[in-house]
A and B are shown apart, each in its own frame.
Chain A
């Protein structure tokens, strides 16, 4: 199968500061869930930010559907079909749920089509329909995360990148988030996920990518990553993965 996204040996960092990523690579297959794991400071979030154009790439390439994305702004990369939900969920707290969803389709020019898609999303996520006129900032963490993930679907992207969607959520809600992610993936949308809870992340993914000190150490099918003794020892706390 043709790779949807290829990241080849990129170097990137914040402003003029030291490189956080130095030799990170990644291959993303269409329609699959890829989970990036690694210790704190490994460069997981930095990798997603580099792909979506929030950070400039100093060396290496990001190739999406055969097109080089280096140097493009986040809004330009979004229009290519890559959505990013950062850790803090990136909602607009003083806009209603409906307005947040409409913002998700900001790049759509057809207002009627946007209304239709917002309606469609609200049908699929009843909690969003119930709270359509409520300010996003007044919702619970889980509801905010649902909104953030659902909002990306408005433009029907090729890839959704999620940076620690489980952060700050109760365990029960975390599983709901992974269920939503699975639903998104089943519809053919590729998911690239950064997850601090490596065990849970890998169990809900097709592929795993292990980053450390800004480099890719290991990349492969999630069951293989889970079974690798080095990975278990280093990142999964020696827990049995099966």
Chain B
């Protein structure tokens, strides 16, 4: 029994972090229909921002979430203005963005490689190697903090989207871009803000990831299929779906990893991606293409 609780807690904590990693991806897809393949690379960039703050200024990685989010939001505005704004009216917008974000991911990886080399890095605050013990169950403090903070941050974003005026505009644009424009929403501005918010979440996720996983410039290739599985399971564009998808898949992966073998753990995500696309392509909470 203790083992099951142990696996469950670890799975949920990790799932929280993965949910945060995926929520920005989901938000950007929902509002702009951009499948941002560069999102994981930008999470890695956020981890490096945190690494710099931790190593050279001694700032705790959790506190570094704020500057990291701000830096990545600014990067998001620049990327959107330079790359996506002009393409937004293109008839092949969706196809173009897949290629553009793929190229962007390679560019970010290349830039990080030049700046930081390919050495594996990790931030190591004291809590990252400490744990709580409850009976026979141990809970690594780093994972627990990262998971709880991630879910809290996502809840904050969800409340913002639900109740703020800007949140209304973002949700409306996600559901019906043309209708939002007809009701007075400047959808281009909302796209920029949403992209910046998505990347701010990537930056915040990067800070938490920096003490949960080791990272290096090409680390994002491991995360792309994992995050895509989570976002597709939840339903592209649904943040609630992303959270549910991340928690479910992470818990399953934790059980598979413990009982079958660690190498099979990652397979959980890939198999899930296939099954979802075959059985329910719109995911658990995804939008159907047409209104009833």
Residues of A bordering B, CB below 8 Å: 15, 52, 54, 73-75, 78-79, 83-84, 86, 88-95, 99, 102-104, 106-107, 111, 137-138, 144, 151, 155
Given contacts A137-B292, A138-B292, contact A92 B172 (CB under 8 A): yes
**B1, CB-defined interface residue at 8 Å:** no
Contact between A54 and B178, CB atoms less than 8 A apart: yes
A-B contact pairs, 8 of them (CB 8 A): A79-B184, A86-B179, A86-B182, A90-B179, A90-B182, A92-B171, A106-B185, A151-B183
* A15 to B180 alpha-carbon distance, docked (Å): 20
* A103 to B175 alpha-carbon distance, docked (Å): 12
* A52 to B181 alpha-carbon distance, docked (Å): 10
For A15, the chain B residues whose CB sits under 8 A away are 91
* A93 to B282 alpha-carbon distance, docked (Å): 15
**Other-chain contact of B178, A73, A90, A138 (Cβ < 8 Å):** A90
CB distance from A76 to the nearest CB of B (A): 9
The residues in B between 246 and 292 inclusive whose CB is less than 8 angstroms from any CB of A are: 287, 291-292
Contact between A92 and B179, CB atoms less than 8 A apart: yes
For A151, the chain B residues whose CB sits under 8 A away are 183
* A44 to B172 alpha-carbon distance, docked (Å): 27
**B136, CB-defined interface residue at 8 Å:** no
* A106 to B189 alpha-carbon distance, docked (Å): 14
Output the nearest chain B residue to A84 by Cβ-Cβ distance.
B182
**Other-chain contact of B182, A52, A99, A137, A138 (Cβ < 8 Å):** A52
Contact between A92 and B176, CB atoms less than 8 A apart: yes
Residues of B bordering A, CB below 8 Å: 91, 165, 168-169, 171-172, 175-176, 178-187, 287, 291-292
* A93 to B292 alpha-carbon distance, docked (Å): 9
CB distance from A162 to the nearest CB of B (A): 12
Given contacts A75-B186, A106-B185, A138-B292, contact A99 B179 (CB under 8 A): no
Contact between B176 and A106, CB atoms less than 8 A apart: no
Contact between B168 and A99, CB atoms less than 8 A apart: yes
Contact between B185 and A91, CB atoms less than 8 A apart: no
CB distance from B114 to the nearest CB of A (A): 41
For B186, the chain A residues whose CB sits under 8 A away are 73, 75
* A78 to B181 alpha-carbon distance, docked (Å): 9
CB distance from B51 to the nearest CB of A (A): 39
For A93, the chain B residues whose CB sits under 8 A away are 175-176, 287, 291-292
* A75 to B187 alpha-carbon distance, docked (Å): 9
CB distance from A232 to the nearest CB of B (A): 34
* A15 to B171 alpha-carbon distance, docked (Å): 27
For A111, the chain B residues whose CB sits under 8 A away are 165
For A52, the chain B residues whose CB sits under 8 A away are 182
Contact between A102 and B183, CB atoms less than 8 A apart: no
Contact between B172 and A107, CB atoms less than 8 A apart: no
Q: Which 6 A-B pairs have the closest CB atoms?
A: A90-B179, A107-B184, A92-B175, A75-B184, A78-B184, A74-B181
CB distance from B129 to the nearest CB of A (A): 43
For B179, the chain A residues whose CB sits under 8 A away are 86, 90-92
A54-B182, A74-B182, A92-B172 known; 10 new pairs, CB 8 Å cut-off, are: A15-B91, A75-B185, A91-B179, A93-B176, A94-B171, A103-B183, A106-B185, A111-B165, A144-B291, A151-B183
Contact between B183 and A137, CB atoms less than 8 A apart: no
Contact between B183 and A104, CB atoms less than 8 A apart: yes
Contact between B181 and A75, CB atoms less than 8 A apart: yes
* A134 to B256 alpha-carbon distance, docked (Å): 40
Given contacts A91-B291, A93-B287, A93-B291, contact A106 B169 (CB under 8 A): yes
Contact between A103 and B178, CB atoms less than 8 A apart: no
* A102 to B291 alpha-carbon distance, docked (Å): 20
Contact between A94 and B183, CB atoms less than 8 A apart: no
Contact between A86 and B168, CB atoms less than 8 A apart: no
Output the nearest chain A residue to B189 by Cβ-Cβ distance.
A75
CB distance from A40 to the nearest CB of B (A): 21
Output the nearest chain A residue to B184 by Cβ-Cβ distance.
A107
* A94 to B169 alpha-carbon distance, docked (Å): 13
Output the nearest chain B residue to A85 by Cβ-Cβ distance.
B182
Contact between B287 and A94, CB atoms less than 8 A apart: yes
* A107 to B183 alpha-carbon distance, docked (Å): 8
* A95 to B172 alpha-carbon distance, docked (Å): 8
CB distance from A156 to the nearest CB of B (A): 13
For A84, the chain B residues whose CB sits under 8 A away are 182
CB distance from A117 to the nearest CB of B (A): 14
CB distance from B238 to the nearest CB of A (A): 9
CB distance from B46 to the nearest CB of A (A): 30
* A139 to B198 alpha-carbon distance, docked (Å): 32
Output the nearest chain A residue to B287 by Cβ-Cβ distance.
A94
Contact between A102 and B292, CB atoms less than 8 A apart: no
For A74, the chain B residues whose CB sits under 8 A away are 181-182
**Other-chain contact of A106, B168, B178, B287 (Cβ < 8 Å):** B168
